[in-house]
């Protein structure tokens, strides 16, 4: 089996951590306005109830999110 140099592996972890830190900070900022369960198609990926959930456009798809990113979405969570 191949072997990995621990120092080389740590460099990769450091690079990855930098990318993920950027993602985490952005997620924090974004979650001030946009529900983090809302995907890029404005569908809801949450498994809990929410007053902003609407029936999907097509059967079998995820529910739609009716939240407008202007009000505190957490108040709509059930």
Partner 1 sequence: MPQLEDIRNDFLRQEVSDFIERPEERAKIIGLIAKASPAMQQIGAALIEGQNKVVDQLTRSALDAGTPALEVMDDGLIAAMAIVGIKFRENFIFVPEVLSCARAMKAGMAHIEPILSASGIEPIAKVVMGTVKGDLHDIGKNLCIMMLRGAGFEVIDLGVDTSPDRFLQAVEEHNAPLMGMSALLTTTMPNMGRTIEAFIDADLRDQVKIMVGGAPVTQDFADEMGADGYGKDAVACVALAKKLVGAAA
Is 19 in a helix, a strand, or coil? helix
Site string for partner 1, 39-78 (x = CB under 8 A): xx----xxxx-------------------------x--x-
Which residue's CB is nearer to partner 1, number 47 or number 58?
A: 47
Whether residue 68 contacts residue 74, with contact meaning beta carbons closer than 8 Å, is answered with: no
Q: Which residue is associated with the tokens 């109830």?
A: 49
Q: Rounded CA gap, 26 and 15, in Å?
A: 17
Binding site for partner 1 (CB under 8 A): 1-6, 8-9, 12-13, 15-17, 19-28, 30-31, 34, 36-40, 45-48, 74, 77
């Amino acid at each position: 089996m191949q072997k990995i140099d621990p120092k080389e592996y740590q460099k990769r972890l450091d690079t990855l951590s930098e990318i993920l830190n950027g993602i985490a900070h952005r997620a924090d900022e974004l979650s001030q306005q946009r529900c983090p369960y809302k995907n890029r198609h404005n569908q809801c990926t949450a498994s809990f109830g929410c007053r902003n959930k609407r029936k999907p456009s097509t059967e079998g798809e995820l529910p739609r999110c009716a939240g407008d990113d202007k009000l505190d979405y957490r108040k709509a969570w059930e």
